[in-house]
Amino acid sequence: MTSEPIKPQTTSPCEGCPAHNAQNLLKLGISMDEWDYVVALAGNPNTGKSTVFNALTGLRQHTGNWPGKTVGRAEGGFSFGGSRFKLIDLPGTYSLLSTSFDEEIARDFILFGQPDVTIIVVDATRLERNLNLVLQVLEITDRAVICLNLMDEARRYGLTIDDRRLARDLGVPVVPTAARQREGLDQLLQAVSDVASGKVVCRPHRVNSGLPAIQRAVFQLTEKLQQVYPQLPNARWVALRLLDGDRNIIQAVERGELGNLALPSTSEVSQALDQQLEMIN
């Protein structure tokens, strides 16, 4: 177990400012018997999730400059501002619709693990591509923080990003970081802590699902899913995927594999799906 305070940043203009007190962080390694909040690290492959995880927990998850290094889920802990946080490092994923085994681990935890806060780590040099996953995650959670990582690389390429505008447009805090140099991590911790405690309330951007017939179908199917799977978080997301004809989700629902749910009676959901599809077509 490591429990040293994080080293003060040398590059931050806020160095010495009490609002960014690096001594607030206590790395707890894997020693996590009790916690106040669960925080998930989501993001595309190779964006620096494990680098953030290591910096905050003192652990040594594998990092390197190629995608697909993190292949399972890793847990660690830290304490900040008097609260204990359990941090979950996840494999990289491009989309919540992805199908590879590692991506499924990430998808299932983001969707059904019910983290208190989801940090979405994005590559500031490939913002557009990374926003796909951001928008998908913001569809299903009200509590997220964007870690706009690799800002040193973005600066090197001469890119400037209006992070305040991005935060306003997305409706969640956006924190620019260069995790390898530990730049911005104190601000990231503060944002996570504020969202976890409810001090900051997110208003995430949602894509309007359009036609009334589709909205009605989604609503009715969501209701049916909630009846059959009362513990299923994000039933609306599952309903959307079912209507989309996503074979993996259909099979997962039929087999009761989503979020380790008990095997449900699936015929009711299948019937409801058939009815809704008939009405739309």
> How far apart are CB 50 and Mg ion at their closest, in Å?
3
Closer to ligand GTP by CB, 183 or 242: give it. Answer: 183
Q: Strand 83-89 to strand 37-43: parallel, antiparallel, or no bridges (unpaired)?
A: parallel
141 binds Mg ion (CB under 5 A): no
How far apart CA 186 and CA 167 sit, in angstroms, is: 18
Sole binder of ligand GTP in the list 67, 72, 230, 245 (CB under 6 A): 67
Q: Which stretch binds ligand GTP (CB under 6 A): 24-32, 136-144, 175-183, 201-209?
A: 175-183
Sole binder of Mg ion in the list 9, 50, 54, 125 (CB under 5 A): 50
Q: Which stretch binds ligand GTP (CB under 6 A): 29-37, 45-53, 132-140, 222-230?
A: 45-53
49 binds ligand GTP (CB under 6 A): yes
Quick one: which H or E segment has residue 102? helix 101-112
Question: Torsions phi, psi of 260, nearest 5?
Answer: 55, 40
Burial tier of 241 (Cβ tally within 10 Å: 0-12, 13-18, 19+): buried
What tokens does 218 get? 């989604």
In the block, residue with structure tokens 């409801």? 272
CB count in 10 Å sphere of residue 51: 23
The C-alpha angle 240, 244, 250, rounded to 5 degrees, equals 85
210 near 203, Cβ under 8 Å? no
Number of residues located near Mg ion, criterion CB under 5 A: 4
46 binds ligand GTP (CB under 6 A): yes
Residue nearest to ligand GTP (CB): 92
What tokens does 227 get? 């009846």
Contacts of residue 234, defined as CB under 8 A and 6 or more positions apart, other chains included, come to 111, 112, 140
Closer to ligand GTP by CB, 50 or 222: give it. Answer: 50
> How far apart are CB 241 and ligand GTP at their closest, in Å?
23
Judged by CB under 6 A, the chain residues 221 through 240 that form the site for ligand GTP are: none
Q: Which stretch binds Mg ion (CB under 5 A): 46-54, 145-153, 165-173, 182-190?
A: 46-54
Judged by CB under 5 A, the chain residues 65 through 124 that form the site for Mg ion are: 69-70
> How far apart are CB 226 and ligand GTP at their closest, in Å?
33
Q: In terms of Cα–Cα distance, which of 135, 150, 133, 151 is closest to 93? A: 133
Site string for ligand GTP, 176-215 (x = CB under 6 A): --xxx-----------------------------------
Sign, CA dihedral 20-21-23-25, equals: negative
Across 100-250, the runs of DSSP E, i.e. the strands, are 117-123, 144-149, 174-176
> How far apart are CB 65 and Mg ion at their closest, in Å?
11
Helix axes 127-140, 101-112, angle to 10 degrees: 50
Judged by CB under 6 A, the chain residues 74 through 103 that form the site for ligand GTP are: 91-92
The residues that touch Mg ion, with contacts defined as CB under 5 A, are 49-50, 69-70
The residues that touch ligand GTP, with contacts defined as CB under 6 A, are 43, 45-51, 63-65, 67-70, 91-92, 149-150, 152-153, 178-180
